[in-house]
Amino acid sequence: MQRLYDFLRRHPTGVDGFWALVLLGFSLLWVGSARPGVDHPVAYGVVAALFSLVLALRRRVPEKMLLLTVALGLAQLALGLEPFPADFAMFVIVYTVAAHDGPRWASRLALAGGLSAATLSQLRWPVEEPTSGAARIFFTIIMTVPFVLAWVLGDSLRTRRAYFAQLEERASRLEREREAQAKVAVAAERARIARELHDVVAHNVSVMVVQADGAAYVMDSSPETAKQALETISGTGRQALAEMRRLLGILRTGEHQEAGEYVPQPDVGQIEDLVEQVRGAGLTVDFAIEGSPRPLPSGVELTAYRIVQEALTNTRKHGGPDAGASVRLVYFDDGLGLLVEDDGRGAPQEMYEDGGADGRGHGLIGMRERVGMVGGTLDAGPRPGGGFRISALLPLKPAH
């Protein structure tokens, strides 16, 4: 049975054509047998055939079939063709036009035609039996009700279809928005992880390279110093591995036991350890804290740590020999200030303008993105008289 229903839904014109033939057969039977003395049988046959055409094409061209129905109704009135079975097509076309999502004039015309059809019929072919005027009006109203019901049913179906179409479109739009938000979230998370990896790799590998060069230089003359450098390399490598495990753990689900224990994210309290590590790598760093230290939001603490880490890494990479640096943390009532300066050669101009040339300058790009995420401000550039300076202000509350 379901296959039959599916077949009928796939071939609506064929179904309408079948019922059109049935209506034509009944109409011709009425003309030839039920009313043998009827006038104008040929005219009745032509009208019946045209009404059958209306029924067959009602879903393909509903507005044109409505106009044809109006023309046939007026022709019946003009030729004096009494109502007969083919007029049933009027009910069907009124319903079809009201249910079709087409121009509103067609629906209004169908309603007007349905309301006036019974009245015009009574005026053209009044009831022969002697009846009162109230009875005739009541009979006219009764004959009008089917047309009104057909139009109301069709219009309700059209409204319901439009409502469900709107719901489907809204659901589809929400699904697209969710997918877009998911893609944005994934891109943001990838960018965040890329910044973290850049900071971890750039800083720790830089320390390891400096220590390895120093160990190789003093291996013969000062074995104890070379041993200390190798220990620094080992400790720095372990720290880098621990941080990379933490970052890679974000990308994994259900693998924490395999990945091992992840260290917490760096915070402001570890900046002093970072400075000591850099000092051990041979860079002179002056560190000072102003104001009253207090707990800060985790995002602010991580941002502060990464800014200092990246700034000191840049000093080692671009400051040149005998460069010195200073790190200042200033606790304000509503924020944390950072000032990292060095007296080295400084980075080339293109390293901090427009994101860097030839793919360089990613560290400063990452700094600006980190500071922007917590609603802060960053100023980076060469110092008067030489060297490089990075100044940041991180608010304690996120920007609205």
pLDDT: is 280 or 259 the higher one?
Answer: 280
Closest to 91 (Cα-Cα) out of 138, 136, 141, 153: 153
pLDDT at 358: 36
Bridge partners of 288, per DSSP, are 328
Mean of pLDDT values over 260-276? 75
Whose structure tokens read 């104890």? 224
**Rounded Cα–Cα distance for residues 173 and 154 (Å):** 28
Per DSSP, which regions of 250-313 are E strands? 284-290
Inter-residue contact 62 to 106 (CB < 8 Å): yes
| AA identity, residue 18 | F
Closest to 318 (Cα-Cα) out of 286, 280, 279, 348: 348
**Rounded Cα–Cα distance for residues 156 and 162 (Å):** 10
C-alpha pair distances (Å), 316 with each of 21, 280, 310, 313, 388: 93, 12, 10, 5, 12
Inter-residue contact 275 to 285 (CB < 8 Å): yes
Neighbours of 13 (CB within 10 A): 12
Inter-residue contact 113 to 67 (CB < 8 Å): no
Q: Is the pLDDT of residue 87 over 60?
A: yes
Tell me the pLDDT band of 254, cut-offs 50, 70 and 90.
very low
Q: Is the pLDDT of residue 80 over 90?
A: no
Kind of pairing between the strands at 324-331 and 284-290 = parallel
Q: Tokens in use for 236?
A: 């720095």
Q: Tokens in use for 400?
A: 């609205």
Tell me the pLDDT band of 365, cut-offs 50, 70 and 90.
confident
**Rounded Cα–Cα distance for residues 47 and 8 (Å):** 28
For residue range 117-139, what is the model confidence (pLDDT) as tens digits?
Answer: 888 888 887 766 656 677 778 88
pLDDT at 400: 44
Give this prediction's pTM: 0.49
Per DSSP, which regions of the chain are E strands? 284-290, 324-331, 335-342, 377-382, 388-395
pLDDT at 352: 45
Q: Tokens in use for 296?
A: 């800060």
Q: Is the pLDDT of residue 357 over 60?
A: no
pLDDT at 150: 92
Q: Tokens in use for 348?
A: 């080339």
For residue range 134-185, what is the model confidence (pLDDT) as tens digits?
Answer: 777 888 888 889 999 999 999 999 999 999 999 999 998 998 888 888 788 7
pLDDT at 250: 56
Length reported for the chain: 400
Q: Is the pLDDT of residue 381 over 80?
A: yes
pLDDT at 79: 87
Percent of the residues in the chain that have a pLDDT greater than 70, as a whole number: 81
Q: What is the CA radius of gyration of the chain?
A: 44
Q: Tokens in use for 362?
A: 């990613």
The rounded mean pLDDT for the chain is: 80
